[in-house]
Amino acid sequence: MQKKSILNFLLIFIFTLNTSCGIYKYSDARKNPTNADERITKNMEEGKGFRLGKIGGNKSGGDFQFATSNPMWRAAIAKLDFAPLNTVDYAGGIIITDWFSDEGSNEQIKLTIRFLTNEIRSDAIEVIIHKKKCKTANNCKITKVENKTNSEIRFAILKKAAKINSNDIKQANKKNKKYKIPGKLF
């Protein structure tokens, strides 16, 4: 039994040595791309590699708008600058503040802003307010607040977003006029 396992080990060892050894080819580092994607493309063109179809899926990241280009997002961040932010997720379309209150108050407030669309319109965002009232450190009651404050915050964000959007359009028009080529439309 022991002879058989030693023989198997030797066969695997010899096989590994034979397959892993090869003739060393000198390669000039200046002629090889440092970017991995460029190296893959070069090797594929030279016939040194292969692909397994679309295994691994699409490697593109998707189609996301950058947060600074969205007036609704920028307006909400600007209007919530007084509150400590807990969760800010552009891809998920949500901003949640941390609990905050006036000094010496036993009531705290937490705001949640949900973006339903990137368009500037009255149903584009939802504002949720939670109030936490504590009698002691471990004895707190949390309630959802639904009053005119929700609407006031929503309309303040929409108003700010409209101003930001208007300024962005003015800036884009100035830029296009500055670089306009006669006879071509942009």
Whole-angstrom distance, CA of residue 56 vs CA of residue 38? 18
Give the residue numbers spanning the domain of 166.
67-173
Note the pLDDT tens digit of each residue in 71-129: 999 999 999 998 999 999 888 889 999 999 888 777 999 999 999 888 888 898 999 99
18 within some domain: no
Note the pLDDT tens digit of each residue in 141-186: 999 999 999 999 999 999 999 999 999 888 888 877 665 555 554 4
Burial class (CB within 10 angstroms; exposed 0-12, middle 13-18, buried 19+) of 130: middle
85 within some domain: yes
CB 111 within 8 A of CB 128: yes
149 within some domain: yes
15 within some domain: no
1 within some domain: no
Q: How many domains does the chain have?
A: 1
157 within some domain: yes
Burial class (CB within 10 angstroms; exposed 0-12, middle 13-18, buried 19+) of 90: middle
Of 169, 64, 170, 177, nearest to 120 by C-alpha is 169
